[in-house]
Amino acid sequence: MGWDSNIYARQGGSGDFTTNLGLSSEYTRRAGVIGVDASVAINTTRFNKFSEENFSDPDFNIEFTKESGRTTGSLTFAAARENRADAAANLRTQSWYYASGLNLKYPVIGRYTLSGGIGWTYRDFQNDPSLVDLKSYTANIDVFYVYNTERDIFGGYRYRKDDTSSDTESIDHSFTLGISGKILPKLHGSVRAGYQVRNTQYMLRNQAMQAQATASSNYRSWTASSALTWNVSKRFTINGLFSKDFSTTSTDMSDDMMMANIDANYTFSPKLSIQAGFTVSQSRFLGDIGSGRKDQFFSFNISAGYNLSNHLKAILSETYSNNYSTSSFADFARNSISLSLSSRW
Mean pLDDT, range 306-316, rounded to an integer: 95
Phi then psi for residue 173, to 5 deg, are -125, 125
Residue in 182, 268, 270, 274 with CA at minimum distance from that of residue 229: 182
Q: How far apart are CA 162 and CA 168, in angstroms?
A: 8
Where are the chain's structural domains?
2-343
pLDDT at 160 over 80: yes
Residues 97, 61: contact at Cβ < 8 Å? no
Give the architecture-level CATH label for domain 2-343. Beta Barrel (2.40)
**Tens digit of pLDDT for each residue in 238-296?**
999 999 999 999 989 999 999 999 999 999 999 999 999 999 999 999 988 888 899 99
Torsion of CA 141, 147, 150, 154, to 10 degrees: -20
Residue in 93, 84, 52 with CA at minimum distance from that of residue 251: 93
- Consecutive H or E run containing 324: strand 312-325
**Tens digit of pLDDT for each residue in 191-201?**
999 999 999 99
pLDDT at 123 over 80: yes
Mean pLDDT, range 167-194, rounded to an integer: 95
Residues 212, 242: contact at Cβ < 8 Å? no
Q: How far apart are CA 13 and CA 1, in angstroms?
A: 20
The one-character DSSP state at 26 is E
Q: How far apart are CA 254 and CA 287, in angstroms?
A: 7
pLDDT at 210 over 70: no
